[in-house]
């Protein structure tokens, strides 16, 4: 049986290094791990309880919730915007946190990885993403981390999927996420 991991990329930019990191995760997923990168975060409106009412939930938010419900675990790819989590990723977490106590993240393993321009690889944004996902009900894997600094230099000529060190680190992350999501034997 395969473990299905939903990847949410916190950058909407087509050439994003975090998008490329997510593509590398798909390419290097171990056997038995199916990674689905969610497309459409740009279409999800900002969370508003007034529109999160049965029969009125925007179609884009419903699609996100359906994809999340079908997932066994989550891998969030977070760049760092002004020292914190990108709005698009926070918005996705907000939608997935509802209904309160029974959202699509509830009880499922969540890991956060990413790359950023700075010397710390976006650790502040990743920490904030873990915090938000945990409060939203996710089972955050606090020991599963990957922060890659200097993204502009490191990936200027090499796609993350072709970087042997990054590929090995991603495989380790994916193995840990899959193990956390696998049903107990």
Length of the chain as a residue count: 185
Read off the pLDDT of each residue in 170-176 and give the average, rounded to a whole number. Answer: 96
**Mean pLDDT, all residues of the chain:** 95
Read off the pLDDT of each residue in 79-99 and give the average, rounded to a whole number. Answer: 96
- Indicate if the pLDDT at residue 133 is higher than 90: yes
CATH number of the domain to which 12 belongs: 3.40.50.360
Cross-strand bridge partners of residue 119: none
Tell me the pLDDT tens digit for each residue of 9-58: 999 998 999 999 999 999 999 999 999 999 999 999 999 999 999 999 99
Q: How many domains is the chain partitioned into structurally? A: 1
- Indicate if the pLDDT at residue 123 is higher than 90: yes
**pLDDT value at residue 101:** 84
Q: State the Cα torsion 18-157-15-111 to the nearest 10°.
A: -10
Rounded CA-CA distance 39/155 in Å is: 23
Segments forming the whole domain that contains residue 167: 3-181
């Amino acid at each position: 049986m395969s473990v299905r991991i939903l990847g949410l990329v916190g950058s909407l930019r087509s050439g994003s290094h975090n998008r490329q990191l997510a593509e590398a995760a798909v390419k290097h997923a171990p056997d038995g791990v199916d990674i689905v990168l969610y497309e459409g975060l740009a279409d999800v409106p900002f969370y508003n309880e007034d529109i999160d009412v049965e029969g009125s939930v925007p179609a884009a938010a419903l699609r996100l919730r359906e994809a999340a419900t079908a997932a066994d675990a989550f891998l969030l790819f977070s760049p760092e915007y002004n020292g914190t989590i990108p709005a698009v990723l926070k918005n996705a977490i907000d939608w997935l946190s509802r209904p309160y106590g029974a959202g699509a993240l509830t009880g499922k393993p969540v890991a956060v990885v990413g790359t950023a321009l700075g010397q710390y690889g976006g650790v502040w944004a990743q920490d904030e993403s873990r915090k938000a996902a945990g409060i939203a009900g996710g089972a955050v894997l606090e020991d599963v981390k990957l922060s890659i600094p200097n993204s502009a230099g490191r990936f200027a000529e090499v796609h993350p999927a072709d970087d042997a060190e990054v590929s090995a680190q991603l495989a380790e992350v994916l193995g840990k996420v899959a193990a956390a999501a696998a049903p107990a034997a």
